[in-house]
Structure 1
């Protein structure tokens, strides 16, 4: 039906032409789909050489000639901003040859590149005609019409044919730099202006980001063929003392943009104050003043102490390292606060020789003697694969263990993985400690000999010790082994400690062993294990409590949903016995524990629960009773400097005491961390109590810590701990601590010699006032004298950067050369520096677009630059612009818009020369550019 209507429409004018006596042209046109557009035209050939008259030509209409026009390479749509070529296939039906041309008519602003001429077309033959054209980038999407006008060789119009061309949506953006300062002074903002031009044909919604603070725009929308400007301001640190280059960028993304578009700009930041180079190699030292106080109902005492500490290298090659601490005076009350007086030193040479002098606690072997803090020495000497050690310590502060300890040790590295060792140490026994399973042995003395092996590889770790003690009373032995092995997704770990009843070391008459098998597969993990611990250790009861006996059997299964969510379930059976007298707890328990953990960027949360059956072995009854416990902890980061944390714990059980009654208790906690700045930090927490496993009495306490560091040399610290003492009535206590620390460097060796600069500010202009202009260099700020002279002393040797404070320059004057001024300072010499200032110049101008006979203003960005300076301004809507306070000289003028060059002819020579104190006018005339595109022959692969 559609083809019939088209034939009818085209047949009407043919019939009318036949009645007027004009040559009869019969057009029959059909169209296929968009991939194969066809025009089928029946034409009478008036150029048939066999006919001598118009009458004879009319006779040929009895046998009409058909012309088929087909687009062989038709596309669904055509992207603007590009060149396109249509391959037209012409096929003539009938008996006579024809000569005619095709004259294309394109939509407005489209550019014709080339159009083939047909010449002669023979019947039954086909010919390819190429039509090339350019679609402007801002052409609106939708359907456009290309008209093909058919003419004879004399140019007479025969017929016009229309073809529909669908213009595609063009999501093309251009991001470019408009202006950016080449250099700024530290403390000033870097103001960078970027341009975003929509070179496509649709309205685009964009998102922008930068490492600077962006100017606000009304809507993130860019209209076709329009430009928006974005200003990015990036602050610089006024206390930055080194010459650096900072990069500012603008990144643009959009819904229909496949990749982000970026534009960059670099700016050199010159320090307004160059950091004074250290003339000496210095050793870092801290000097502190400490205050501790204890306040109770009827007791108040405090202590004051001072300490001097150092930690650093003694030479530039970093071969000699020293660490020392001197804290005094000696006070018995210091022990109440967990500190004492101390005099200690550690010296290391090339990591080969290490010497310890003064107060130290020496720990040689796990199975050896307990740590005996006191005055003494230790020497570690490395010789190839060997490490030899000799030590001596004489306790001086605590009566619990005050006999000297000394010994030797040797270790040999068989390979990088395997190390063997042997040691021998000697001392006397101690008075009774916290464990009632170890008798006092003050009259016992002897030696402990130990051999050790340590092996570490990627999947295997083996650590073992075997010791024998030989005293005047007993001979006994001890052993320790710790082993872990990984195989694919499995890891086994286990340890064993076994010591004899009369073993002389710190661990005596003890047994401890553990086995654990761990499995991990992607998000799953599982483990099973068994632990038995019956450890008796010599410990000072002033600082330690006896470790309980315990036995655990357990199995665990965990699953991590993702990086944020994790759950575990554990079933176990355990037995735990207090080793203090009287016993607070002795129980058996079997239960299940479950846990959920959430880890977010700002919020963290954990929940723990346990359901169990508990039997109190201290009570007369032996039945199991229900017990359970639940707790949660959460923290939230409000901002980069403030976070809060909360916790809640509830327990219900019959573990503690002799009554076997189930008790319920709840604990809660609150905490806050706050960093007001880099200098001030606050930490505070409140805890309503602690676990009855430590003591069954309640204990509330409040902790607070404040640190203030106004500079790198000074530090103030305050801590307070307020609590209720366990086991006492109305026994509230307050512990307070205050500390001030001053850090400095003790000069060891001069490494830098210094020099100076004699300078002068001058100008050829008589009205130049050279007094009170600020000069900045190497941490110094000085002002010029009345005649413009100045002197800079104590400058570091080498290159120094000198510059002027622009705010102090006389009005209307600028520096003749680009700052900063580099001056090389040599030892014991005074360098010369002369700085010229000139009157500032001005450049005015106007940008005009010449379109036909009209002249329009152009709003855009203009750059003025030469080898030393660059300036940028924006013209108003009328095209007017002005450069003020520029350095006189020769400049090139450029427009900061890459797309304008494709539309307009810009004068090839845009230069301006401006003299001091003068003003120059420049007009920039833009003319519409005739697009000239060369057509390059292309081999088309056409298919039917």
Structure 2
């Protein structure tokens, strides 16, 4: 009997298993999409269809396999499927806030409800999209320091995106502490520090500025500018006079000319400046002696001159290069006199008389001119020039008409028409130039045509140069250039004009990236020696490729040329050669003070009569600011180009400049050079120069004021031996707590107290430095009380989530930006890894404590972002703040959405669709002050006077903003202040680091 029962149970179980197995083969589950994409922190709705392909009814449940920290928000309940019935279901799953970029599998299993047998399963890939969100903030900065101390500042950089980022920190006009390369994982943050030394030899207050940029590759994410006031630490002698600057110097010169050592001394006194504080009258003079041109050290001939100018008069007496017009007289060095007069109605006139010094064929020259300025961009002038040659009784006479016109907004035209007469012969010359921009084109050109007998600076010559550029797109442009040099030119003194040249070139430029540019061009170039015995005359037809790139601290350019060169001085059948040239230029900047440049050139261009045609030229150049007052530059190369004889070709050069005791300078110069008009025999030249700068008193302009006062403690008792500084003056309180400053310059000055002389925990009752208005011939009294400071410290903690699985266990309460503000001062600091913080000493009274909500870890929020405390003298208050986990509500809404299935499945109507979850936004207000096509320099006048700003590159523009505010009222207050500095500053809203004009933001709300 037992055996029969057992057999019946086994038979029934086998039958049931067989039915289930058959059902498993007949139940199909299929996701509507095989792959979906979602942002981190958002909910993704996955729709799937289940069909019962068997002839039996079946009930199924759902099980889901999801990645760690993903959360199933809603899931379908038990499904009852009739034979051949299908049903559409939706499962809603939320990805973590900090989920990295990637593809994540979601698997669904269909289980038989009563026995738990897996009927069917399928996997869908959920792709997490990238969010780039890097914040870069200045969190700590010294408002003022003493000269000789180092400026320091701290920045907080956070990766609020969901992918790791490799950043480069670019410090301008300051030095970065540590490596400039930073790698941040999602949610990670770090602090960046910079430092900048200052000179002890500072006798006046000075603002030192610096900029730090965060870059991803070559793209600038954010640029933060800041400045610090440097106060003098030394006492300088009070100067009550306006002085005219004068410099006296003595130089020792030496050379090994022709293998023989020669040396000489040279003296110079010169001055150039205004004679009055308003700058209406300007004086210049120089006396340099003796004459040392025999040392081949250019520019060291003796020279004397005196000049005076004001708004209407310009007078000159002495030696210089006198100029009329480019056609008549471009440059004639000699001794003479010149006067120019300009009236208020735009009419001007003038003359000069000169006896040339280095061109003996001309005895003298005389010129007069008159002109009229219609406005700053349109004028006409008439010139007359007479030249008296040594071997001719009749002077050469030249007449010129010159005009500068701006017929259109972006078009400028220069025109000169001239006529010359000599020995009863006349000849004409014309010069014209144009520079115009319209649409995508930019056109520029210069044209000279000088008659055969024209007796001006040029004769029997033609010259033209034209360039046409078209910007096809933001990254691409094409250009064409053609140029032919003067066939003849007047030579002056021992200078010589460049070789004759002619070229045609067409090029294509493409900007690969912000710091990278590639250029390909075809060029036909001809060059001919102008010296008495020709060394070269060649023609090259070539293709060229050039690539330049600036990345982090490296700036390099690579060039390649390949073509055919014809040596026109060689035999006809042996003068053509396939030629090539390769060159490289690499610059590396160690920091803001030191850099090195390497360069090289290798070619086989067949262009010279003598010498090896294959040439390797390489060299090195370095620049170093060893200290604030010591600078060093050096340059060295192994060879030179013969056809560069119109330049100084330095094979070696060393420059050293040292400034000491404010007015004294020592300079050392050494050259190993082939000078102009030479092709061989380099010379070594050395010069050592000592200079002293002084000021001749012109007028007393400063009338001194006076400041006195008393320093006491909270009980009214005097505090002695406290150092007080204002400008470059220092005073110390006596036993009565009194101090006094005499002979202070009127105007605004900064007064500071040396806190090293105060007890621990003591603080002045007013913030330092204190801006004081000093009034001439009046005494100002400033009394200061020393009191016990208060301190606020505490900890920010992360609260537990209502759903623990939603809580980001890796989140830390570190680097949360917090602020403590009173009516007199503001402090900003960040929390450490445990969320702890301690503010510096503050003055007792009411303070406002603020948490910057955009620095709170993702998934958390503060119940309130601001707190008000009243701190008593000497109080040490501790506060604990708990950040709450964000809670999200899920709302179902009927939308009557119809989804259709493939392969003959009947449409199924879904009456409940999950509403997308609202994203937590990061929002703050700022004030935009300007936008430019390229980044501004740190010392730009546009940014002057602003202690901090930040820059963002948006829509190919560099936009500048001031302030990050939680409320629009704060932004409106800042915009009102900035209206006195900028035209039409306006408020913008940053929402998830995307910019929205405030007016549009209001209308959207």
Tell me, yes or no, whether TM beats 0.5.
yes
Trace 1:455-474 onto structure 2 (pairs within 5 A). 458=411, 462-469=415-422, 474=423
Report the Cα distance in structure 1 between the residues aligned to 2:159 and 2:293, rounded to whole angstroms.
74
Equivalent position of 2:820 in the other structure: 865
Alignment partner of 2:154 out of 174, 188, 191: 191
Equivalent position of 1:42 in the other structure: none
Residue 675 (str. 1) matches residue 623 (str. 2): yes
Give 3-state SS (helix, strand or coil) of 2:31's partner.
coil
Say whether the 8 Å CA contact 2:509–2:519 is kept in structure 1: yes
Equivalent position of 1:499 in the other structure: 453
Give 3-state SS (helix, strand or coil) of 1:364's partner.
coil
Report the Cα distance in structure 1 between the residues aligned to 2:833 and 2:796, rounded to whole angstroms.
9
- Say if 1:935 and 1:752 are closer, same or farther in 2 by CA, change over 3 A: farther
Considering Cα pairs closer than 8 Å and 6+ residues apart, tell me whether 1 or 2 has the greater RCO: 2
What's the offset of the Cα at 1:282?
4.8
Q: Deviation per CA, 1:261-289, whole angstroms, max 9, x where unpaired?
A: 87x98977443449999866554433332
Say whether the 8 Å CA contact 1:178–1:896 is kept in structure 2: no
What's the offset of the Cα at 1:790?
3.2
TM-score (norm 2): 0.62
Report the Cα distance in structure 1 between the residues aligned to 2:677 and 2:64, rounded to whole angstroms.
104
Say whether the 8 Å CA contact 2:708–2:780 is kept in structure 1: yes
Structure ID, larger Rg: 1
Equivalent position of 1:480 in the other structure: 429
Trace 1:310-321 onto structure 2 (pairs within 5 A). 310=272, 312-315=273-276, 318-321=279-282
Trace 1:828-847 onto structure 2 (pairs within 5 A). 828-838=778-788, 841=791, 843=793, 847=797
Consecutive unaligned residues of structure 2, counting only runs of 5 or more, are: 1-11, 52-60, 79-85, 471-476, 511-516, 549-554, 901-1005
Report the Cα distance in structure 2 between the residues aligned to 1:242 and 1:559, rounded to whole angstroms.
47
Say whether the 8 Å CA contact 2:28–2:120 is kept in structure 1: no
* Deviating more after overlay: 372-381 vs 132-141: 132-141
Report the Cα distance in structure 1 between the residues aligned to 2:501 and 2:878, rounded to whole angstroms.
93
Residue 35 (str. 1) matches residue 36 (str. 2): no
What's the offset of the Cα at 1:708?
0.1
Equivalent position of 2:587 in the other structure: 637
What's the offset of the Cα at 1:834?
0.4
Alignment partner of 2:307 out of 346, 365, 382: 346
Equivalent position of 2:166 in the other structure: 207
What's the offset of the Cα at 1:942?
3.6
Alignment partner of 1:289 out of 247, 250, 256: 250
Report the Cα distance in structure 2 between the residues aligned to 1:182 and 1:725, rounded to whole angstroms.
52
- Say if 1:574 and 1:892 are closer, same or farther in 2 by CA, change over 3 A: closer
Give 3-state SS (helix, strand or coil) of 2:569's partner.
strand
Trace 1:351-750 onto structure 2 (pairs within 5 A). 352-364=312-324, 366-367=327-328, 371=332, 373-381=334-342, 384=345, 386-393=347-354, 400=360, 403=363, 405-411=365-371, 419=380, 421-423=382-384, 425=386, 427=388, 429-430=389-390, 440-441=391-392, 444-446=393-395, 448-454=397-403, 458=411, 462-469=415-422, 474-482=423-431, 493=447, 495-499=449-453, 511-513=460-462, 523=478, 525=480, 527=482, 533=488, 543=494, 556=504, 558-559=506-507, 563-566=517-520, 568-570=522-524, 578=532, 584=533, 592=540, 594=542, 596=544, 598=546, 600=548, 601-603=555-557, 610-614=565-569, 626-627=574-575, 635-639=585-589, 641-645=595-599, 672-677=620-625, 679-685=630-636, 691=642, 704-710=653-659, 713-721=663-671, 735-750=685-700
- Say if 1:837 and 1:494 are closer, same or farther in 2 by CA, change over 3 A: same
Say whether the 8 Å CA contact 1:632–1:647 is kept in structure 2: yes
Say whether the 8 Å CA contact 2:481–2:506 is kept in structure 1: yes
Q: Deviation per CA, 1:480-524, whole angstroms, max 9, x where unpaired?
A: 234568999897945233228xxxx5779x633467888878657
Equivalent position of 1:322 in the other structure: 283
Give 3-state SS (helix, strand or coil) of 1:498's partner.
coil
What's the offset of the Cα at 1:479?
2.9
- Say if 1:735 and 1:830 are closer, same or farther in 2 by CA, change over 3 A: same
Trace 1:681-830 onto structure 2 (pairs within 5 A). 681-685=632-636, 691=642, 704-710=653-659, 713-721=663-671, 735-750=685-700, 753-764=703-714, 770-786=719-735, 788-827=737-776, 828-830=778-780
Give 3-state SS (helix, strand or coil) of 1:477's partner.
strand
Give 3-state SS (helix, strand or coil) of 2:760's partner.
coil
Report the Cα distance in structure 2 between the residues aligned to 1:293 and 1:704, rounded to whole angstroms.
15
What's the offset of the Cα at 1:832?
0.9
What's the offset of the Cα at 1:907?
8.4
* Deviating more after overlay: 481-490 vs 808-817: 481-490
Give 3-state SS (helix, strand or coil) of 2:633's partner.
strand
Report the Cα distance in structure 2 between the residues aligned to 1:35 and 1:289, rounded to whole angstroms.
90
Trace 1:256-267 onto structure 2 (pairs within 5 A). none
Alignment partner of 1:306 out of 254, 268, 292: 268
What's the offset of the Cα at 1:784?
4.2
Say whether the 8 Å CA contact 2:62–2:108 is kept in structure 1: no
What's the offset of the Cα at 1:466?
0.9
Say whether the 8 Å CA contact 2:322–2:334 is kept in structure 1: yes
What's the offset of the Cα at 1:190?
1.8
Say whether the 8 Å CA contact 2:433–2:444 is kept in structure 1: no
Say whether the 8 Å CA contact 1:568–1:596 is kept in structure 2: yes
Give 3-state SS (helix, strand or coil) of 1:931's partner.
coil
Report the Cα distance in structure 1 between the residues aligned to 2:811 and 2:612, rounded to whole angstroms.
83
What's the offset of the Cα at 1:675?
1.8
Equivalent position of 2:975 in the other structure: none
- Say if 1:221 and 1:453 are closer, same or farther in 2 by CA, change over 3 A: closer
* Deviating more after overlay: 484-493 vs 235-244: 484-493
- Say if 1:772 and 1:598 are closer, same or farther in 2 by CA, change over 3 A: farther
Across the aligned residues of Structure 1 and Structure 2, the Cα RMSD in angstroms comes to: 6.5
Report the Cα distance in structure 1 between the residues aligned to 2:111 and 2:637, rounded to whole angstroms.
92
Q: Deviation per CA, 1:717-759, whole angstroms, max 9, x where unpaired?
A: 333456799999x999764433333345545455554433324
Alignment partner of 2:195 out of 228, 235, 260: 235
Report the Cα distance in structure 1 between the residues aligned to 2:394 and 2:47, rounded to whole angstroms.
109
Report the Cα distance in structure 1 between the residues aligned to 2:427 and 2:718, rounded to whole angstroms.
91
Give 3-state SS (helix, strand or coil) of 1:933's partner.
coil
Q: Deviation per CA, 1:562-602, whole angstroms, max 9, x where unpaired?
A: 55555555376989783xxxxx45x9977556575746333
Equivalent position of 2:990 in the other structure: none
Consecutive unaligned residues of structure 1, counting only runs of 5 or more, are: 1-11, 20-25, 37-73, 92-101, 119-125, 431-439, 579-583, 616-622, 656-661
Say whether the 8 Å CA contact 1:506–1:538 is kept in structure 2: no
- Say if 1:313 and 1:217 are closer, same or farther in 2 by CA, change over 3 A: closer
TM-score (norm 1): 0.65
Report the Cα distance in structure 2 between the residues aligned to 1:694 and 1:858, rounded to whole angstroms.
68
Equivalent position of 1:40 in the other structure: none
- Say if 1:773 and 1:686 are closer, same or farther in 2 by CA, change over 3 A: same
Report the Cα distance in structure 1 between the residues aligned to 2:365 and 2:180, rounded to whole angstroms.
77
Give 3-state SS (helix, strand or coil) of 2:889's partner.
coil
- Say if 1:304 and 1:260 are closer, same or farther in 2 by CA, change over 3 A: closer
Equivalent position of 1:620 in the other structure: none
Trace 1:248-287 onto structure 2 (pairs within 5 A). 269-273=228-232, 282-287=243-248
- Say if 1:497 and 1:575 are closer, same or farther in 2 by CA, change over 3 A: farther
Give 3-state SS (helix, strand or coil) of 1:235's partner.
strand
- Say if 1:329 and 1:450 are closer, same or farther in 2 by CA, change over 3 A: same
- Say if 1:147 and 1:217 are closer, same or farther in 2 by CA, change over 3 A: farther
